[in-house]
Amino acid sequence: MEIERKWMVNGWPEGEGFPALPLKEEFAMRQGYISVHPTVRIREEALKGGRTDYILCFKSGGGLAREEIERPIDKALFEDLETKIIAKPLIPKIRRSYLLPDGLVLEVNHVDEGQPTEFWYAEVEYPTVEQARAWDPASCQLAAYLSDDVTGQPGQSMGEYWVKTRL
């Protein structure tokens, strides 16, 4: 089960006016969709200074909580799915994960950098629906940064972005 909230943001949470958030990791990613209803996605995840993983992911529905099944796949299968099944440019994004003072992780994504479609979004995953609903960004001094909560709003998923920009 994936339980997460999502916000539209402007840039990384760094610099003046932000709390000092330790950077946990950074990935360069490329992802594409075989299906958006239900979500069937492939993603290449290259850890900065480290390994590259290839993931096949299935997601049910949308909103605050949904089932998510991820399985590693090899590079050859990823490339076959990318070129023979999807056959569209994958979505590039940079993801930085920051440790929050309460132990949660803030994931900030920069999508389609340098393109007219470029945008930023942030997510926090939670262990329970109750914790997700109760969590206040102000508890981590991020109320101004995480002010545009789009969790569960139509048109705000990466799959829907795929349909708008790639199909």
pTM of the model: 0.93
What confidence tens digit (pLDDT) does each residue in 97-125 have? 999 999 999 999 999 999 999 999 999 99
Q: How far apart are CA 122 and CA 108, in angstroms?
A: 4
Q: How far apart are CA 135 and CA 48, in angstroms?
A: 30
User: In this model, does residue 89 exceed pLDDT 80?
Assistant: yes
Buried b / exposed e over 131-159, threshold 16 CB at 10 Å, is ebeebebeebbbeebbeeeebeeeebbbb
Could you please state the CATH topology (level 3) that the domain comprising 2-166 is classified under.
Hypothetical Protein Pfu-838710-001 (2.40.320)
